[in-house]
Amino acid sequence: MHKHTIDNFQSGLVWFRRDLRLQDQHALFLALKHCAQVYCVFVFDTDILNPLPRQDRRVEFIQASLVNLDEHLKKFTQSSEVRLITLHGSAVQEIPSVAELLEVQAVFTNHDDEPSSLKRDSTIRGKLAAKGVSYFDFKDHVIFERSEVLNQTGKPYGVFTPYKNAWLKKVTELDLQSFDIRPYKAKFATLKPAQLKRLPAQMHGLEDIGFELTNLKELGVHTGIDGGEFLFKDFLKRMDLYNETRDFPSVKGPSYLGVHLRFGTVSIRELARTALERSRAGSAGAAVWLSELIWRDFYAQILHHHPRVVTKAFKPEYDNIQWEDDKAAKKLFAAWCEGQTGFPIVDAAMRQINSSGYMHNRLRMVVASFLVKDLGIDWRWGEAYFAKHLIDFDLSSNNGGWQWASSSGCDAQPYFRIFNPTSQSERFDPKGIFIYRYLPELKGLGLPTLHTPWLAEPMELLGAGLQLGKNYPHPIVDHAKARERTLMRYSVVKATKS
């Protein structure tokens, strides 16, 4: 499973990052296998944290998940002396420094293929080497990574379906096998008195790292290993119906495991193994959910092979498009961000992300298409907004999704396919349950007018206590006209291709 030849060491350090669990954690398993003693550490990395707002649901999710990880560590080892060390500072300084303090011979961690993370890890590897400390990293976040799934000419796939077929053909029991740490329980190290003096006495709280509580608890977000396990068990009862329920935002259709996959509080191998077994047993829901997990791998390998997608279109000709970016465009963008576009499904979705850090997947496509193809605004603006607000934000998937919606990405929808927000609303929230939940100002409007308040008769608006332009906006764009403008805007792509 791994390409490293690993010696045996007296002591090693496991650096936790996107893998906040004990069971089936690749780096932890190999550290325990090859070291007589193993320390566990997490760094609240100031290089990542400093630019963030002081209230950030992700940071709170991570901190709560670390508390849970520490509890599991104590329970697993049956020792209150074994603990997860947390540090606060730049990882580039902290990891070499703690490796020296703990006198370890090796640091073990799992891959993080985002460009900035690769740069950080390369620097740390060099600093550790200068101190004579080995550095090992492993695949843990996806089933297949980097160049593991290539086409017959040895090139990476740029279209999802052939990639998925190759993925399914390649996958074996070994790829999905769990890394069992139970035989190595006794190898977790306890800190010596001299080390204790130089390390934080306890786990960092949110306030210790300069952050404040968000509404995470009120939202009922399940954190940590326990939260991931609870949600997965809950989804198992619904997985077979996933294909029928996943597109309707008012229905409990999705797994809600996105944030747990992002921070590794669940194992991707366990999820994919379950989905594959059920899919092979004839479950259509499991087959569609497995596809979603394969999309994660697909987008991760796109980012690995084409890191330029972070700032540029996957298809270069799409960077010739002239996006709106004047004062009027900025005003339209602000209306989109605030859920004030006058299109109820778009507004409800944007208010969902603003109030909870989550957005239903179908709605991610609807609001992205609206921003890019109705308002003519650069997909990168929307991508950055999602990156700031989504609790399950993952660079490769978020970038892939936005480039898909703007038609500039790999295997994207064709540029002339433009979602109609009204028909999307009528189709996927037919009873308006989702819209009513997030737009209480429309509660007096009946169906079908709820989907198109601007078409309501004056008496209906009066009865609903609604004044368009006052307590709910007029549509900020005419969809039919916007569609024409988009086809014109995208004509440069056609010109480049011909």
Alpha-carbon span 324 to 301, nearest angstrom: 31
**Cβ neighbourhood burial of 427 (10 Å; 0-12, 13-18, 19+):** middle
- Whether the Cβ atoms of residue 209 and residue 88 lie closer than 8 Å to each other: yes
Strands (E), 102-147: 106-110, 134-138
Q: Which of 379, 383, 398, 399 is catalytic?
A: 379
Catalytic residue among 292, 317, 441, 460: 292
Containing 403, the helix (H) or strand (E) segment is: helix 395-405
CA separation, residue 294 to residues 64, 181, 286, 495 (Å): 28, 26, 12, 34
> Which is the catalytic residue, given 243, 354, 361, 420?
361
- Do the Cβ atoms of 233 and 271 come closer than 8 Å? no
Residue 402 annotated among the catalytic residues of the structure: yes
Sheet holding 134-138, edge to edge: 84-89, 35-45, 9-16, 106-110, 134-138
Q: Determine which one of 15, 289, 336, 402 is catalytic.
A: 402
Catalytic residue among 295, 336, 381, 404: 295
Q: Catalytic residue among 71, 323, 324, 441, which? A: 323
Residue 22, CA atoms < 13 Å, CB-side half-sphere:
25
Residue 54 · residue 210 · CB < 8 Å: yes
The reply to whether 381 belongs to the active site is no
The three-state (H, E, C) secondary structure of 16-79, written as one string: ECCCCCCCCCHHHHHHHHHEEEEEEEEEEEHHHHCCCCCCCHHHHHHHHHHHHHHHHHHHHHCC
Whether 323 sits among the annotated catalytic residues: the reply is: yes
Angle at 45 between CA 42 and CA 47, to 5 degrees: 165
Residue whose C-alpha is closest to residue 34's, from 140, 108, 114: 108
Please state, in angstroms and rounded to a whole number, the distance separating the CA atoms of residues 423 and 421: 6
| SS3 of residue 108 by DSSP | strand
Provide the 3-class DSSP secondary structure of residue 456.
Answer: coil
* 295 catalytic residue (yes or no): yes
Residues 76-87, buried b or exposed e (16+ Cβ, 10 A)?
ebeeeebbbbbb
Look at residue 11 and give its three-state secondary structure. strand
Q: Which residues are catalytic?
A: 292, 295, 323, 361, 379, 402
